[in-house]
Amino acid sequence: MRYSPIANDLLVTNRKRLVKELKPGSLVVFNSNDIMPTTADGTLPFRQNSDLFYLTGVNQEESMLVICPEFSEQKYREVLFLREPSEHLEKWEGHKLTREEARKVSGIETVLWLADFHKWFHHLMAMGGVEHVYLNTNEHYRSDVVVQTRDARFIEWCKANYPLHQYQRVAPIMAKLRVVKQPAEIALIQRAVDITEKGFRRVLKFVKPGVYENEVEAEYIHEFVRNGSRGHAYSPIIASGKHNVVLHYIENSRQCKNNDLLLLDVGAEYGNYNADLTRTIPVNGRFSKRQKQVYNAVFRVHQAAIKLMDSKMVYFDYHREVEKLMEREIMNLKLISKTDIKNQRPGQEAFRKYFYHGTSHMLGLDVHDVGDMHAKMAVGSLWTVEPGIYIKEEGFGVRLENNVIILKKGVNDLTKKIPIEADEIEDIMNKP
């Protein structure tokens, strides 16, 4: 484990909050993610199911959590099932959690081996007074699941073997719980942000004409890993020149040229929690007059957008307010005219040629975290703020992104110490 252990009182609290949301006579099951294959005998790096991690802190494959709050025997109201360690596994894959280690990590008293799951699960379903069975699915509004998950296979198995129970969705409950970040979670995210800052400051001193985007990526990963992160929170976007008008450019292979802008959408992961930062810098250390005009326009919208965020605001209403700010800036840059605005159709506004994505998304255990985008921004929820202007005909774009916690009044900007003003960026890049 690279990160400092997470105090299990956070996990205990998370499970208690979940139980309060369940119907009487309920049982709920969470599965780890699969280890995904590549070709031959290769596999992708393992990434734990965020809901299971949120409730247990366990970062191990082939793990299951069963909660049956009203079961007569208290010790079996929470059961964590794990892959049993063996000498063979130790030799080939390394250490697996012992029962005692799993108890310490999760705060769950009863830890059993996965081989015992079916026997115990049948006992709980038959003798536990269970009427409602909560199962998990990925219900993020942008999800596109094309591979059958461990959860999906379990749903099929469970319904086939226990067809007369009443099945419920736990995903909406987990989304509701995960939206509000607990103090311990905010501390983990702040650590991810601080590591991201170290990487960004390193890159500011490294970038110059002639370096390649992948070399910049290497500078980030070096700083991330040496500070306890497993690496990038998401595929890094390191986009120079014309590439920075592409929202999800991840090839990161072009040589950075003199007079280019370099858009850096890069965040570190720490303890499974994520930062999501974007900055745009001049490759040669100085913005051109036009580049600075566009940069400062985005910066003004960015700062105003942070001030607009409020616990009484619904995201889509907020985004429309930001679009109004952006429309004025884009017009002032002479990219669109009053005539263009007058003649535009709803949904085909003139500014959308230059600002064509949302201002914000929720952030946490997932980079695009779960939650109700149509609800008011909850106190304690974490959001990105990321306006941008992309001018394909001029060959460059600018995006700026911070991470903020919603307070009763205003926000707590976790990224406020990271350089963002054009003059500060130039100063750092040009100091010996």
pLDDT of residue 143: 85
Beta strands in 243-377 (DSSP E): 261-266, 268-270, 273-274, 277-282
Angle among Cα 411, 415, 416 to the nearest 5 degrees reads 75
Q: Residue 312: is its pLDDT beyond 90?
A: yes
Task: State the average pLDDT over residues 389-396.
Answer: 98
- Binned at pLDDT 50, 70 and 90, residue 4 comes out as confident
pLDDT of residue 94: 92
Averaged pLDDT of the chain: 96
Q: Residue 1: is its pLDDT beyond 80?
A: no
CA distances from 313 to 137, 302, 358, 408 (A): 28, 17, 15, 11
Q: Residue 112: is its pLDDT beyond 80?
A: yes
Q: Residue 204: is its pLDDT beyond 90?
A: yes
Find the helix packing angle between 99-106 and 8-20, rounded to 10°.
70
Domains of the chain: residue spans and CATH: 8-177 (3.40.350.10), 183-430 (3.90.230.10)
Query: CA-CA distance, 38 to 43, in Å (whole number)?
Result: 5
- Binned at pLDDT 50, 70 and 90, residue 349 comes out as very high
pLDDT of residue 111: 98
Query: CA-CA distance, 105 to 57, in Å (whole number)?
Result: 6
Task: State the average pLDDT over residues 323-341.
Answer: 97
- Binned at pLDDT 50, 70 and 90, residue 146 comes out as confident
Which tens digits make up the pLDDT trace of 43-96? 999 999 999 999 999 999 999 999 999 999 999 999 999 999 999 998 999 999
Tell me which of 59-73, 142-156, 273-287 is least confident: 142-156
